[in-house]
Amino acid sequence: MAQPFQTSKTGRLGMLASVAIVIGGLYFARDVLIPIALAVMLSFLLTPLLLRLQRWGLPRIPALIIVITLLIGALAGLGFVVFTQVTDLAGKLTQYKQNITEKVEWVRSVTSNKEIDKGLAVIKQAAEKSTTQSSTVPTTQTGPTAVIAPGPTGKTELTPVNPDGGQPAPIPVVVTNEKPGEGAASSAFKNLYASFSPLLDPLATAGIVLIFVVFMLMAREDLRDRVIRLIGQGRINITTQAMDEAGERVSRYLIAQCIVNGSYGLAISLGLWLIGATFGHNNPSFPNWFLWGLLTGILRFIPYIGPWIGAAFPIAISLAVYHGMTVPLAVIGMFLVIELLSNNLMEPWLYGASTGVSTVAILVAAVFWTWLWGTPGLLLSTPLTVLIAVTGKYVPQLEFLNILLGDEPALAPRYRFYQRLLAEDVEEADELLAEYLSEKPVVQVYDEVVLPAMSLAEHDWHNDRLDQAKQTAIRQAVRDLVEEVGEKPRKVADVPTDAEKKAGKSAEATPAEATRYEKCVLCIPARDAADEIAGMMLAQLLEQEGYCAEYVSVEKLASEYLQIVETQGVQVVIVSALPPAAVTHARYIVKRLRSRFPDLKIIVGLWTASGSIEKARHRLEASGTDLVVNSLEKAIEQLRQTVQPLMVTETAEAKAAERDVVPAT
């Protein structure tokens, strides 16, 4: 059993402090770390293309120029399409006011919930406000007005007029130092700056990321060597394996995700266009169908919730544009079908091997990185979690990260099976056994899962960590499960006696019995019910192999074992012994058998005995044992080598006896 990683109280406090410092550094340095993380992810994504161009004979710099040009062109084209589609959509929103109002009234007539009515009223008011603000201009004035009239000098002057009558209101005068024309230019510049100022930060971040990507791809080998020198001093082999595995897994994941999400967005675009052409009637073209496909493909990079966020927009547009519910229902059905096909066919085919991170870990990581870095953290959550899991796999001090984040089972099969037996959950134990049997042969499942689980129970029982009632329940559960696996093996009490054979109860052999070996194999328990169950497993496997095999109940005495061997014509005895304290009891049985039957073949099975069994073998061989094995598979193999010489010897003796017979006259 693997020993848990032991840490002192001071060590645990130091680890917690280190984790807190790292998280704090990630949060406060996010403005610097986010561009670097994005650049690293893009480098992982573009490295396979760069290497492919270099394999075709292009030098590093021309290949890098081609890759960066393709990247910039793709981003620029994407931005242009999004800008034009959004502008077109904004111009069409005023056309959907009446249909939105009809949908709200229809839903209100169907439902009577007050909270829903409030929500629908808010939606209706928002729709009316968005359409009226763009088409109306305020016409009332509360301040003083002025009219053009002849002044005292006969010239036309601007005269203030008080709307309430009385004395004219004074006109406020603002003194500025601007020259003619400068005010208009300054106002235009301010408007231009106000329009583009929200884009300055994303554009600056994109520029920084692009510069980082260029230099990372140019000096990829040098950066790799520096990282190995920094963290892998004296452990170059492990560090290289970790970096190679991390790079391969992240690159495979990013490339596969780009292909899946691109195909997903294209399918959504074509599906929306087809729905509009089929069910659209007066509006045959679904509004901005390419924009919605592009948006859903991009949002799908957000784990789990991204596809449904992207689906909400075209569903809302279908409700606003089209009369009736045919088109909205068709859009919802299309999303469900494409999502099922993508999850069950496209992703398993392209992803191949998984990212090595469990589903729960990806969800938790998405929440954590979103809290830490916002939207960029959400997009980077899965690749960053993969890197952390790989680090925990190769760094012993951080192994808990691989246990928490990895998708490998936290417990070995034997421990999972034993844990279910301890919990008395026989149904799940049966499911686990069926799962393992679907992947491996029965003999391997017995050797690697069932017998080790029984051995764990025996050790806990002998060390007073398991009470008698629980131990009895575990043994009975294992017995029942083994009997369900295959044909129930025969006990000696079930075998017909010589008197019953003479009476004709077994005159005709079944087809299975006709193919059995003539030499009978008997499985004898060394001490308790656990040894009997192990012998039952071996007898079951031998029956399936075609041997004439039986096992003896533990309730019989040692003297009865000797009588059974003599009366049943047994040629091979296998003493079943499950540690601990297996050798002592097995030696006692072997001594009794050897003293009574000097020519009997005796095999002792020390099931699940680990490490060197040479000392136990010497003790057992001194007592008269012929062979010692520690697994059912080895016992069957040794039995083949033991029974075959016996059959050859018997055949030779029979032929010799035939030659010695004198024909009667």
Q: Would you say 516 and 546 are in contact if contact means Cβ atoms under 8 Å apart?
A: yes
Order of strands across the sheet that contains 548-551: 548-551, 520-525, 570-577, 601-606, 627-629
CATH code of 428's domain: 1.10.1240.10
Judge contact between 108 and 120, C-beta under 8 A.
yes
In a domain, 379, yes or no: no
For 614, half-sphere exposure in the C-beta direction (CA atoms, 13 angstrom radius) is 1
- What per-residue confidence (pLDDT) applies to 9? 55
Residue 453 shares a structural domain with residue 520: no
Composition of the chain by helix, strand, coil, percent to 5: 70, 5, 25
Number of domains in the chain: 2
**What is the domain extent for residue 615?**
489-497+512-659
**pLDDT single digits (tens) 559-588:** 888 888 888 778 888 899 888 777 888 888
Residue 285 lies in a domain: no
Q: Would you state the structure tokens that stand for residue 578, as one six-digit string?
A: 């499950």
State residue 509's pLDDT score: 39
Contacts of 224 by beta carbon, 8 Å cutoff, 6+ apart: 243
Q: Has this prediction a pTM greater than 0.85?
A: no
Which DSSP category does 145 fall into? E
601 vs 98, more confident: 601
Q: What backbone torsions phi and psi does residue 175 show, to the nearest 5 degrees?
A: -95, 120
Sorting pLDDT into bands at 50, 70 and 90, what band is 196?
low
Instruction: Quote the pLDDT of residue 659.
Output: 55
- Residue 43, classified by CB atoms within 10 Å of its CB into exposed (0-12), middle (13-18) or buried (19+), is buried
CA–CA separation, 191 vs 193, rounded Å? 5
Instruction: Give domain status of residue 589, yes or no.
Output: yes
The two structure tokens encoding residue 98: 């009446």
Amino acid 499: pLDDT: 45
- The token pair at 487 is 């044909």
| Among candidate residues 622, 574, 528, 454, the one with its CA nearest the CA of residue 614 | 622
Return the CATH number at 548: 3.40.50.280
> What pLDDT was estimated at residue 400?
78
The answer to whether position 586 is within a domain reads yes
Same domain, 561 and 474: no
Q: Could you tell me if 569 and 599 lie in one domain?
A: yes
- Token readout for 122 is 């808010």
pLDDT above 50: residue 348: yes
**Amino acid residing at 359:** T
Same domain for 472 and 516: no
What is residue 135's predicted lDDT score, i.e. its pLDDT?
47
Q: Is residue 517 part of a domain?
A: yes
Say if residue 650 is in the same domain as residue 530.
Answer: yes
Q: 228-238: per-residue pLDDT in tens?
A: 777 666 677 77
Q: Calculate the CA dihedral of residues 143, 144, 148, 149 and round it to 10 degrees.
A: 160
The two three-digit tokens of residue 344, written as one number: 């069950």
Are 461 and 555 found together in one domain? no
Mean pLDDT, residues 547-552: 84
Same domain, 459 and 554: no
Within 13 A of 472's CA, how many CA atoms are on the CB side? 3
Q: Do 520 and 447 belong to one domain?
A: no
| Per-residue buried b or exposed e for 243-277, using 16+ beta carbons within 10 Å of the residue's own CB | beebbebbbbbbbbbeebbebbbebbbebbbebbe
* Contacts within 8 Å (CB) and 24+ apart, 504-512: 512/546
Q: Determine the angle formed by the axes of helices 529-545 and 468-485, rounding to 10 degrees.
A: 10
Q: Is 638 found in the same domain as 606?
A: yes
576 neighbors 552 (Cβ within 8 angstroms): no
Asked whether the predicted pLDDT for residue 488 surpasses 60, the reply is no
Structural domain contains residue 296: no
Shared domain check, 580 and 447: no
Inside any domain, residue 223: no
Beta bridge mates, 156: 150
Same domain, 481 and 493: no
CA-nearest of 624, 662, 512, 492 to 570 is 492
| pLDDT at site 502 | 46
Cα torsion 592, 596, 601, 603 to 10°: value is: 0
| Phi, psi angle pair for 387, to nearest 5° | -60, -40
Residue 445 domain flag: yes
Say how far apart CA 134 and CA 211 lie, in whole Å.
42
Last residue of a domain, one of 436, 452, 486: 486
C-alpha 73/C-alpha 67 separation (Å) is 10
Same domain? 640 vs 544: yes
For residues 67-100, one letter each, b for 16 or more C-beta atoms within 10 angstroms of the residue's C-beta and e for the rest, the string is bbeebeeeeeeeeeeeeebeeeeeeebeebbebb
Q: pLDDT tens digit string along 18-68?
A: 888 988 888 898 888 888 888 888 888 888 888 888 888 888 888 889 988
Mean pLDDT, all residues of the chain: 76
User: CA 226 → CA 35, 367, 394, 451, 544, distances in Å?
Assistant: 20, 32, 18, 49, 60
Confidence of residue 108 (pLDDT cuts 50, 70, 90): low
